[in-house]
Structure 1
Amino acid sequence: SWVLNTVPFYAILGPITALFSVYMIRTYHWFDHFVERWPGLRWQKVLVGGAALGGLIFLFPPLYGEGYSTVVEKLLAGHAQDLTDGSLFSVYGDDNVWWLLLLVFCTMMTKVVATSITVGAGGNGGMFGSSLVAGALCGFLFARLVNLTGLVVLPEVHFVVLGMAGVLAGVVHAPLTAIFLIAEITGGYALFVPLMLVTSFSYLITKRFEPYSVYTRKLTLKGVDVYANRDRDLLSRLDLHRLIDTDYLPVRPGTTLGELVEVFRHARRNVFPVVSKSGQLRGIIALDMVRNTLFDGAHYTTIKVRELMQPPPARLKSTDRAEHALDLLERTNSTALPVVDPDGTYLGFVTKANILARYRRELIEEGQV
């Protein structure tokens, strides 16, 4: 169980684990970028990586293996002094706590380095287990330093558990996973409130500095938007030029009503762009606009299209995206809108039906991949 006077220290541990999570994410990807510079040097990577990893393990033996049985279990059992066994620090005995804390700090900071070297050299590894081990060391180090001040006595085992959850929440960007996973594997269900506090601080602060987790950051650098709306992503792939329908018959501003009636008789559409001789879009004229005027035969030669045309509800530019076009069609309650180039030259119409048909085709093709 936990006591109320330790809550301020939980609040302090959260930002500490957040900053440490940022360090782990950036270090891991720095090494990943460094290794990618030499894609063909396979045996050289293994040789250099193995030598570097061996040197780190020689200096800091707790780095060996996944670390849970060699580090986390000892900390949870309250046997932190056993971490120095087999290391250069063991010659100083168990009486000097500062050598222990130095080993803990160095192991904590180099755990991500060891993981990065292992993965970069072609070995098996990942940041999930490393986050747990480094987080446990972080929580223990914080609690032991506070206890050494003599101001308060913190339960170090509790902070080992909270450190694991905080760093995991920050590195993986999964606070709920961290809460329930750590509570399950450690049996620390009594620490649910402290777990929620530490993981919330860690996640929110880490996300402020690193918007993407250690797993999604590399995908983002390759141009994959992991948080993109699937529908918007599909719409963004559509090329507006390929959606332009050019079978709308244009008419001139000087076309008479009688000539317009003849155009209506042979047209398959009920909307007509009014285009000048230079190709500029002047307006549109729809059958519904002139339905009453069509039967006024006395004015077939006197009324011109320029007197009947109206501006379109909106104009699309050839540089617009399909997503914007669909949004404009919805907002204007239109089934089709004219498209012009940056100079105002008429290109054709884009219809809602064309966009949705093309979207459906993209959806089917994606499902078959």
Structure 2
Amino acid sequence: MEKKKGIIYKINQWRIQKISNRNFLVILAVVVGLIGGLAAAGLKALTHGIAAFLQNDVQSEYKYFLYFFFPLVGILLTVIYVRRFIRKGKFEHGITPILYAISRKSSRIESHNVYSQIITSALTVGFGGSAGLEAPIAYSGSAIGSNIARFFGLNYREVTMLLACGAAAGIAGAFNSPVAGMVFAIEILLPEFSIPAFIPLLMAAATASVVSKVLYSEPLFYLVSDEWVLSALFFYIILGGLVGLFSIYFTKVDGWVKSWFSKVKNPYHKIWLGGLSLGVLIFVFPALYGEGYIAIQQLLLGKSNSLLANSIFSDYKHVGFIVVIYGVITIFAKSFATLITLNSGGNGGTFGPSLVMGGLLGFVFAHGINLTGITYLAEANFIVAGMAAALSGIMHAPLTAIFLIAEITGGYTLMVPLMIVSAISYFINRATVKYSIYTKNLAAHGDWLSHEDKDKTVLRMMKLRYVLETNFTILGPDEKPNDRRSDIIHTKRNIFPVVDKELKLLGLIYSERLFSILMGEEIADKTMKELAQAPLDVVRMDANMYDVMRKMDREDIWILPVLDANDRYMGFVSKSAIFNKYRALLVRQGSYLD
């Protein structure tokens, strides 16, 4: 181990002497992009390979009956893999843990995520789990960037930058969309950025996109699009509003489903419950199988009856109003199928499902209008617009939504409608739900690094144990001032806690009172317990620092004693210590993208 550390140290010393940090960061961004592109191509090939094998190569008279159990098997294999091979670290999924790593873990992501995210999401989605691959590949890419940066001993700012480069590379490689990958990293992971941040992100995203395109060139969508017409503007506005409302519903349901599954403690009970529920949903709504992009592609090609084609309702696939009703139900079923997949033990994300639900909503809206004969709407255009609106509302990422959809569908002629629906959906969701589906849990626990209310954010980032002051002279309840004359005179503190043998805080004595006694101005035979006065308030070790500051301001007090959960004395917290830590965190937070 020591020899390995020595080699790494020598490499870093040579690098520091020969290459400037700025140039080295660009070089590493290319490396991250290269590995991220390989990971994205590998994930797509593995997932689609599993799906193709199950759908095409498995030959049995009970084949379609087996489809009922495939999602269960995928989730079971995922859980078994996690419990068997990831014992030391913690396994998480989605974009939220990446944000938490930036806010609370110095942008450090455990190395197993480089491959474990790929394996588990391929098993989940390949076997029919109704989730997306984008969040796992973003997580894998972030782990690649974070661990490469840590290997070379880079600082927090540079580790964060390479983490974001990895996420950008993952998204770019997954969608073959370098611009969207870069915008995603800036909008979701690096909300405060400077111009130099563009260069590493561009290099990482472009490299990953090229690598992924070479290794896995199959495009996600083929768009047959018409120019948008001004007369359809009113309908785009309505669609934006509808998707915005749906995004609020999805965010609420996400909380409900998480809460419900959290009550099921046995992981294998979750698997059975989630897997069988998912099997039933997919049996009734085949479009829910896997990512769901195939269903969207069929609709983009104008095959409006494809939703019912392989379902038990296929006899009604040419009845227009039944197609619309079935499509609406499929949208809501997709929301539950996705959340069931993720909360029962499967690995994936809501990124892809957001696109699918938005696309289905756009199709249902346009197809329904066309059936009325009021006007004709280009259904493919509204499918694309719905995808952008859903991504914008659910993720709170309108720019990512606009550029991603324009890139993966080639629908640059629809840039104006994409901008309109994305903005409307975002503002409707934001008016009701302050935080996105990725940040709401972090915000609830004070772990979200928000840039809108920086004071509150920085205070919530603090841990009380890092500002706890313990260098106070503790007095015993039965002691008298003269017994501790030397300690009282030579202490640098002006406050003394009176604590018993069980470490219970009995009260506080201020130095003025003790000096008065020692100088003979007061009677000296009183015990410390008799002299002590109750504190105005106390603070618990698990207290939120924002609440601590509010308490101090409310009581107009500069220092408060800290107790643990068992009321034992731990030390003091002062405004001075909080302000010093606050300044340090502000410097760190403000400089990570200088």
* TM-score (norm: length of structure 2): 0.43
8 Å contact from structure 1 (residues 243, 355) kept in 2: no
Q: What amino acid is aligned across from residue 228 of structure 2 in structure 1?
A: W
Which residue of the partner structure matches residue 87 of structure 1? Answer: 311
1-structure distance, mates of 2:357, 2:234: 22
Cα offset for 1:30? 1.0
1-structure distance, mates of 2:416, 2:391: 17
Q: Does 1:19 align with 2:240?
A: no
Q: What amino acid is aligned across from residue 322 of structure 2 in structure 1?
A: W
Q: Does 1:143 align with 2:366?
A: yes
2-structure distance, mates of 1:235, 1:28: 28
Cα offset for 1:231? 4.1
Q: What amino acid is aligned across from residue 113 of structure 1 in structure 2?
A: F
Quick one: structure 1 residues 14 and 365, their matched pair in 2 at CA, closer, same or farther if it must change by over 3 Å? Answer: closer
8 Å contact from structure 1 (residues 239, 322) kept in 2: no
Q: Does 1:175 align with 2:398?
A: yes
Quick one: structure 1 residues 241 and 128, their matched pair in 2 at CA, closer, same or farther if it must change by over 3 Å? Answer: closer
2:290 is aligned, of 65, 86, 92, to 65
1-structure distance, mates of 2:241, 2:328: 17
Q: Does 1:102 align with 2:325?
A: yes
8 Å contact from structure 2 (residues 392, 400) kept in 1: yes
1-structure distance, mates of 2:267, 2:408: 40
1-structure distance, mates of 2:370, 2:340: 34
8 Å contact from structure 1 (residues 18, 167) kept in 2: yes
Which residue of the partner structure matches residue 286 of structure 1? Answer: none
Q: What amino acid is aligned across from residue 275 of structure 2 in structure 1?
A: G
Which residue of the partner structure matches residue 252 of structure 1? Answer: none
8 Å contact from structure 1 (residues 234, 363) kept in 2: no
Cα offset for 1:41? 4.0
8 Å contact from structure 2 (residues 460, 545) kept in 1: no
8 Å contact from structure 2 (residues 447, 460) kept in 1: no
Q: Does 1:224 align with 2:458?
A: no
Which residue of the partner structure matches residue 45 of structure 1? Answer: 270
Which residue of the partner structure matches residue 295 of structure 1? Answer: none
Which residue of the partner structure matches residue 54 of structure 1? Answer: 279
Q: What amino acid is aligned across from residue 32 of structure 1 in structure 2?
A: K
Q: Does 1:159 align with 2:385?
A: no
* Aligned Cα root-mean-square deviation (Å): 4.1
2-structure distance, mates of 1:220, 1:338: 28
SS at match of 1:80: coil
Structure 1 unaligned blocks of 5 or more: 247-268, 273-277, 282-316, 327-336, 342-349
What are the superposed Cα offsets for residues 174-214 of structure 1, whole Å, 9 maximum, x if unpaired?
01100000111111111111111101010000111211111
- The answer to which of 236-245 and 157-166 deviates more is 236-245
8 Å contact from structure 1 (residues 53, 117) kept in 2: yes
What are the superposed Cα offsets for residues 12-53 of structure 1, whole Å, 9 maximum, x if unpaired?
1111000111111111221111001112242x2212222111
8 Å contact from structure 2 (residues 317, 323) kept in 1: no
2-structure distance, mates of 1:90, 1:338: 72
8 Å contact from structure 1 (residues 244, 339) kept in 2: no
Quick one: structure 1 residues 206 and 240, their matched pair in 2 at CA, closer, same or farther if it must change by over 3 Å? Answer: same
Q: Does 1:76 align with 2:264?
A: no
8 Å contact from structure 1 (residues 22, 206) kept in 2: yes
2-structure distance, mates of 1:197, 1:112: 24
Q: What amino acid is aligned across from residue 135 of structure 1 in structure 2?
A: G
Q: What amino acid is aligned across from residue 79 of structure 1 in structure 2?
A: K
Structure 2 unaligned blocks of 5 or more: 1-226, 474-491, 495-508, 513-535, 550-555, 561-573, 590-594
8 Å contact from structure 1 (residues 236, 323) kept in 2: no
Which residue of the partner structure matches residue 303 of structure 1? Answer: none
- The answer to which of 9-18 and 354-363 deviates more is 354-363
Q: What amino acid is aligned across from residue 270 of structure 2 in structure 1?
A: K
Q: What amino acid is aligned across from residue 60 of structure 1 in structure 2?
A: F
Cα offset for 1:245? 10
SS at match of 2:333: helix
Q: What amino acid is aligned across from residue 88 of structure 1 in structure 2?
A: I
Cα offset for 1:365? 11
Quick one: structure 1 residues 242 and 63, their matched pair in 2 at CA, closer, same or farther if it must change by over 3 Å? Answer: same
2-structure distance, mates of 1:323, 1:172: 27
Task: Summarize the alignment of residues 263-302 of structure 1 with structure 2, pairs less than 5 Å apart.
Answer: none
8 Å contact from structure 1 (residues 238, 359) kept in 2: no
1:131 is aligned, of 336, 339, 354, to 354
Which residue of the partner structure matches residue 297 of structure 1? Answer: none
2-structure distance, mates of 1:145, 1:59: 22
Cα offset for 1:237? 4.9
How many pairs does the alignment contain?
289
1-structure distance, mates of 2:328, 2:578: 58
Which residue of the partner structure matches residue 261 of structure 2? Answer: 35
SS at match of 1:160: helix
SS at match of 2:376: coil
8 Å contact from structure 1 (residues 234, 359) kept in 2: no
8 Å contact from structure 2 (residues 446, 460) kept in 1: no
